[in-house]
Amino acid sequence: MINSVEIGNFLSHSDTKLNFENGVTVFVGHNGAGKSSIIDAITFALFGKHTRKSSKGLIRRGSTQGYSKVTFTINGQQYEAVRKIDSKGALAAKFSKINNGEVTEIASGERKQFGESMTHEIEKTLGLDFEKLKIASIVQQGELNSIIKAKPKEFKELLNAVIGIDKLDVASNNMKEVIKEFREEIKQKEGFDDTHIDILERDLENYLKELEESKPEKERLQTIQKMLLSEVSNLRKKLEDETPKIEKIKQLDLRKKELQSYAREAIKEIQREIAEKERKIEDCEHCFEYAGLKDDLENKLEKITLAIEQAQKKIQELSNLETALKEKQNLAKKLQLMDNKCPVCDSEVEKLNPLFQEEHLANELESIKNQISSSQKEKEMYHTKKLEFSKKLQSSIDAEATLKAHSVKDENELNKIKEEIQIKKISIDKIPVISSSNLLEIAKIDSHSQLLFENISKLEDETIGFEEDKFLNLKNLVEEKQSELSNVDQRLGAINEKILKHQENISKIKESMTELRKVKEYINELNDIQTNVFNRDGVVATSLRSWALNSISSKASEYLTLLNTKIQRLQLAEKTRDISITCYSKKEVLDLESLSGGEQVSVALALRLGMAHLLGASNLNLMILDEPTTHLDVERKKSLVGVLSQLSNIANSSNPMQFVIITHDAEIFEDSTVERIYRFESTENGSKITSL
């Protein structure tokens, strides 16, 4: 049972402590006075859970931290659970047991990674967790009578929640996930899972059928391949024998063209030689009359050169004498006698020296000029001769050089060259027009042309009987047969690959099917477990519900006896999709709708108590009814009070129960036998609690 609840700066309470005893305790007060906060204080201290949006919202406005502490007794042992929270959301928690006023810590905090969990220790001590406590011990507003007003299917869902069928759903889903993951693992490993067995069987059948159909086609292609190989081999041998001939035909054509080309070039070369020799004759024919005159002409040229030099020397001497006479003539003009006196010394002179006489000097100058003119003519005559001899000398030099360049010594050699030219002209005239039809005549040009002709004759002998059209047809036939063979090889390769692939697929499918059949057997067993054990409508769930219904029926019937109603027994039974509730008096079966309001409340309360007992709530033996009068009319409210007044009988039984009733209808308890009533009021300093 809950011994006390102490809260500080928690929701609307600044500093509140409530003591509890067995039996019925009633909280009355208007909405917002802090009545339901006691429920949050109890669940927060025990499990750290509550009905608010966030844990920070538990702290009273204006405060930085709050706490909730609950003391309770289980089988004679007293315990204390306290949790604190600050404005940052940090939590502190401690769970202890109390012996003779001495406090011993059992657990603190929620560091589950270190194996420390106060909540876990409390769950072990109470024998239930927060979810079960909510179902077993806390009846929210308007939910008291909902248990008998609910539709049969809804009642079944409630029962499933009471006995934990939802855990079976989780287990069922987990099992489905296990099966799914197992299938995925098999699929990754094998490429298939057990759902593909039928597909694999069809694939296997198709592969076997195609494999059987492929064998005759393979044999047929192998026969064609063998035949074509033989044909291609024979044709290739013929082609190999004929192929060198086509090459020789090409060489024959090239050799003929080569001979014709050589002949043309040879004729051109002879013509060039004739032209060269004719030029030689032309160059040398007139050289013999000048050749051999070089020495004589050089002597004559030397003498004339000497005569020119002497004439030039004489002219120079006469020119110098002429100049001197001219100077004397100028002086003579100045030396004229005046009265037979010397113009220089004024001495008496009878007659001037002829050297200073103008007439004499003029005569001398005239004579000198005639001599110079005569010498000039002589020099010019020598110069003309020198040019003539120089020209003849150059012609002689050129003639000797030309003869030497052409290697002609005398006129006999030149005559021989003329004879050679005549012979070559005659031979050229005998050569016919160059064509492939007169190669024999062309071959007579020289030894090289004869050698070329011999090669041509040999090639013609080696290619006798060769027909190029037949060779090309043979070549095309080989290519056609080879193409046919390649096509057959490809088809045969494709069918071999197909057969090999089918054999591999057949082997793989057989191995996979052997493995997948084992997988299917295993998954079928898992499905059987999932269907029969974890399914909420399976054997296990049905058995659990049957046991639970009998347990609840039995315990609810005991509570109804204590509540002093005409109903002697309750019987819960499961049908296909719902749960039925049957009430029995001593003599007859009672319909729920025919029961009075008080009787209906008693039935609902008995069922709740029966469920609480089933969930193991006997460890705490606590039930909280939050606003049980909500949505009840006046008559039913009075009936509820009557039932609640009888709860003391349960509290005083061998297995006492503790009830907390939260309501804002204080007036309904004015004439009741309930003695522990607390009034809650909202004040500026928080919730105020008064014992009535």
Instruction: Check whether 490 has a pLDDT greater than 90.
Output: yes
Burial category of 476 from C-beta neighbours within 10 Å (exposed 0-12, middle 13-18, buried 19 and up):
exposed
Q: Is the pLDDT of residue 553 over 80?
A: yes
The pLDDT of residue 224: 93
| Distance between CA atoms of residues 447 and 648, nearest Å | 153
Tokens of 447: 């030894």
Could you tell me if residue 268 is inside a domain? yes
Average of per-residue pLDDT across 330-353 = 61
Q: Lowest mean pLDDT: which of 196-205, 291-300, 359-368, 648-657?
A: 648-657
Q: Of 684, 555, 661, which is closest to residue 26 (Cα–Cα)? A: 661
pLDDT at 22 over 80: no
- Looking at the fold, whether 305 and 275 belong to one and the same domain comes out as no
Looking at the fold, whether 319 and 258 belong to one and the same domain comes out as no
Residue of 456, 455, 171, 402 lying closest to 287 (CA atoms): 402
Mean pLDDT value of segment 319-330: 85
Please check the confidence at residue 316 and state whether its pLDDT lies above 60.
Answer: yes
pLDDT, greater one: 629 or 586: 586
pLDDT of residue 349: 53
Using a 10 angstrom Cβ sphere, with 0-12 exposed, 13-18 middle and 19 or more buried, the burial of residue 457 is: middle
Judgement on whether residues 241 and 314 belong to the same structural domain of the protein = no
Average pLDDT over residues 472-486: 90
Name the more confident of 487 and 352: 487
Which stretch of 42-56, 62-76, 541-555, 599-613 has the lowest confidence by average pLDDT?
A: 599-613
pLDDT of residue 84: 92
Residues in the chain: 692
Domain assignment present for 245: yes
Residues 258 and 304 in one domain: no
Of 526, 549, 571, the residue that ends a domain is: 526
Q: Is residue 451 part of a domain?
A: yes
Residue 503: give its domain's CATH number.
1.10.287
pLDDT for 409-438, tens place per residue? 888 888 888 888 888 887 777 776 667 677
- Same domain (yes/no): 437, 521: yes
Residue 102 domain-assigned (yes or no): no
Those residues with Cβ within 8 angstroms of residue 74's Cβ, 6 or more apart along the chain or in another chain: 125, 126, 619, 620
Both 271 and 346 in one domain: the answer is no
Q: How far is CA 602 from CA 298, 551, 596, 643, in A?
A: 175, 18, 10, 6
Same domain, 468 and 386: no
Q: Which of these ranges, 171-175, 369-373, 497-501, has the smallest mean pLDDT?
A: 171-175
More confidently predicted of 219 and 89? 219
User: What pLDDT sits at residue 469?
Assistant: 84
Is residue 275 domain-shared with residue 331, that is, in the same domain? no
pLDDT value for 342: 58
Q: Which span out of 149-158, 513-522, 561-570, 649-658 was modeled with the highest average pLDDT? A: 513-522
The 10s digit of each residue's pLDDT in 648-692 is 555 555 556 778 888 887 777 766 667 688 999 998 888 999 887
Q: For position 245, what pLDDT does the model report?
A: 81
Q: Give backbone dihedrals phi and psi of 673, rounded to 5 degrees, phi first.
A: -95, 5
Three-state DSSP at 150 gives coil
CA distances from 416 to 285, 287, 364, 405, 583 (A): 13, 17, 70, 17, 165
* Co-location of 376 and 443 in the same domain: no
**pLDDT of res. 424:** 81
Bigger pLDDT: 497 vs 530: 497
Whether residue 214 is contained in a domain is answered as: yes
Question: What is the tens place of the pLDDT at every residue in 229-272?
Answer: 999 999 889 888 877 888 888 888 888 888 888 888 888 888 88
In a shared domain, residues 324 and 375: yes
Is the model more confident about 467 or about 688?
A: 688
Do the domain assignments include residue 246?
yes
- Asked if residues 448 and 261 have their Cβ atoms less than 8 Å apart, the reply is no
| 314 and 278 assigned to the same domain | no
- Amino acid 275: pLDDT: 86
User: In terms of residue numbers, what domain contains 270?
Assistant: 196-282+433-526
Q: What mean pLDDT do residues 382-395 have?
A: 87
- Residue 115 covered by a domain: no
Q: Is the pLDDT of residue 617 over 50?
A: no
Mean residue pLDDT across the chain = 82
Q: What is the pLDDT of residues 154-196, one digit of tens each?
A: 666 667 766 667 677 777 888 888 888 888 888 888 888 888 8
Residue 215 lies in a domain: yes
pLDDT digits (tens, 9 = 90+) for 28-37: 988 888 888 9
**pLDDT at residue 416, rounded to an integer:** 87
pTM for the structure as a whole: 0.48
- Count of structural domains, the chain: 2
In whole angstroms, give the CA distance from residue 450 to residue 239. Answer: 33
Residues 321, 356, single domain; the answer is: yes
